[in-house]
Chain A
Amino acid sequence: MDHVESVSRVSAAVPLPAAKWKILGRWLQGIGLFLLAASSLGIRWHPKEFIHSWLFSFFFFFSLCAGALFWVLLHYVTNAGWGVVVRRQAENVASLFPWVALLFLPILWDAFSGHQLYEWTNPALAHDPALRAKSAYLNLPFFAIRALFFFAFWIVAARFLWNGSRLQDSDGDPWRTVRLQKFSYGLLVVYGACMTFAAIDWLMALDFRWGSTLWGGYVFVGAAGASLALWILLILWLRAMGYLPEANEEHLHLMGKLLFAFTALWGYFAFSQYMLIWYGNIPEETYFFIRRNFGSWNWFAIGLVVGRFFVPFLLLLPQATKRNPKTLGLAAGWVLFMQAAELYWLILPGVFVNAVAVGLLEILIWAGMGCLLAGAFLLRLVSCELYPRRDPRLRESLEVIS
Chain B
Amino acid sequence: MAAVKETVGREGSGRAALARPALVLNEREASWVNDAVCSVVEQPAPFWWWLAVIAFGLLAGAVPLVVVYFISTGLGVWGLQSPVFWGIAILNFVFWIEIGHAGTLISAILLFTRQRWRNSVNRAAEAMTIFAVLCAAVFPLFHIGRQWMFWYMVPVPESYAVWQNFRGPLLWDEFAVGTYFTVSCLFWYFGLLPDIASLRDRTTKLWKKRLYHVLCWGWTGSVRVWHHYEAGYLCIAGVVSVLVISVASVVSTDFATTLVPGWHTTIFPPDFITGAIFSGFAMIVTLLVPLRAAYPRLKDMITPKHLDNMAKVLLATGSLVGYSYLIELFMAWYGANPFERYTFLNRITGPDRFTYFAMFGFNVILPQIFWFRRCRSHPWILWTASVLINVGMWFERYSIIVVSLERDFLPSSWRHYLPTWVDWGLFFGSVGLFFFLFLLFLRVLPALSIAEIKTLLGKPERKRHLETATKESAPNPGEQIYGLGAEFSSEEELRQASEETRKKGYVWWDAYAPYPIHGMERAMQLSKSRVSFFVLMGGLLGLVTGIAMVTATSIPRPQFLESFTTGQLQGLFYATVVQGKPYFSLPAFVPVLLELTILFAAFTAFLAVVLLSRLPRPYHPVWNWGELARRATNDGFFLVIEARDPLFSPTESRQFLESLGGRQITMISR
Once the chains are docked, how many angstroms separate the CA of A375 from the CA of B11? Answer: 37
Among B323-377, those with CB < 8 Å from A are 323-324, 327-328, 331, 333-337, 371
A276 at the interface (CB under 8 A from B): yes
With A134-B333, A211-B335, A257-B112 in contact, do A173 and B14 touch (Cβ < 8 Å)? yes
CA distance A217 to B11 in the complex (A): 40
* A19 in contact (CB, < 8 A): no
Residues from 211 to 229 in A contacting B, C-beta threshold 8 Å: 211-217
Tell me which residues from 11 to 66 in chain B have a Cβ below 8 Å from any Cβ of chain A. 11, 13-15, 17-18, 20
Say whether A278 contacts B259, CB under 8 Å.
Answer: no
Nearest Cβ on chain B to A125's Cβ, whole angstroms: 14
| Contact (Cβ within 8 A) B590 A275 | yes
Q: How long is the Cα–Cα vector from A276 to B323 in the complex, in angstroms?
A: 20
Chain B, interface SS category: helix
* In the complex, chain B residues 248-307 whose Cβ is within 8 Å of any chain A Cβ: 249, 253, 256-259, 264-270
- Quick one: closest B residue to A211, CB to CB? B335
Contact status A173-B10, CB under 8 Å: yes
Whether B257 and A177, one on each chain, are in contact in the complex, defined by CB atoms closer than 8 angstroms, is no
Asked whether, in the complex, the Cβ of A272 is within 8 Å of the Cβ of B327, the reply is no
Contacts known (A173-B14, A211-B334); A278 close to B587, Cβ less than 8 A? yes
Can you list 27 pairs linking A and B with CB atoms under 8 Å apart?
A134-B333, A134-B334, A137-B334, A174-B18, A175-B13, A175-B14, A192-B323, A196-B323, A211-B331, A212-B331, A213-B265, A213-B267, A213-B328, A214-B265, A217-B270, A264-B242, A268-B245, A271-B590, A272-B268, A272-B270, A273-B266, A276-B269, A277-B266, A279-B253, A280-B257, A280-B264, A281-B580
Contact with B along A39-64 (1 / 0, CB 8 A): 00000000000000000000000000
Whether A272 contacts B331 by the Cβ 8 Å rule is: no
**Could you tell me if A174 and B14 are in contact, using CB atoms closer than 8 angstroms?**
yes
Whether a CB of chain A sits under 8 angstroms from the CB of B164 is no
Interface size on B, residues (CB 8 A): 43
The answer to the question of A310 belonging to the interface, with a C-beta cut-off of 8 Å to chain B, is no
Interface residue tally for chain A (C-beta within 8 Å): 45
Assuming the A-B contacts A212-B266, A278-B587, A280-B264, are A392 and B15 also in contact, with contact meaning beta carbons closer than 8 angstroms in the complex?
Answer: yes
For A185, the chain B residues whose CB sits under 8 A away are 371
Q: Which residues of B pack against A, CB within 8 Å?
A: 10-11, 13-15, 17-18, 20, 112, 114, 242, 245, 249, 253, 256-259, 264-270, 319, 323-324, 327-328, 331, 333-337, 371, 518, 579-580, 587-588, 590
A337 interface contact, C-beta 8 A: no
Q: Cβ of A114 < 8 Å from any Cβ of B?
A: no
Q: In whole angstroms, how far apart are the Cα atoms of A59 and B572 in the complex? A: 50
Query: A276 to B268, Cβ gap below 8 A?
Result: yes
Which A positions have Cβ atoms within 8 angstroms of B? 81-82, 130, 133-134, 137, 172-175, 177-178, 185, 189, 192, 196, 200, 211-217, 257, 261, 264, 268-269, 271-282, 284, 392-393, 401
In this complex, the member of A214, A257, A277, A278 whose beta carbon has the largest number of chain B beta carbons within 10 angstroms is: A214
Minimum C-beta distance from B253 to chain A (A): 7
Minimal beta-carbon separation of A254 from chain B (angstroms): 9
**What's the nearest-Cβ distance from chain A to residue B100, in Å?**
20
**Closest A-B pairs by Cβ, 4 of them:** A174-B14, A213-B267, A133-B336, A214-B266
Q: How far does the alpha carbon of A393 sit from the alpha carbon of B114 in the complex, in Å?
A: 16
Give the docked Cα–Cα distance between A224 and B335 (Å): 27
Distance in angstroms from A201 CB to nearest chain B CB is: 11
Q: Which of B336, B518, B579 has the most CB of A within 10 A?
A: B336
Q: Which residue of A lies closest to B14 (CB)?
A: A174
| In contact, B14 and A276 (Cβ under 8 angstroms) | no
Question: Is there an interface contact between B18 and A392, defined as CB atoms closer than 8 Å?
Answer: yes
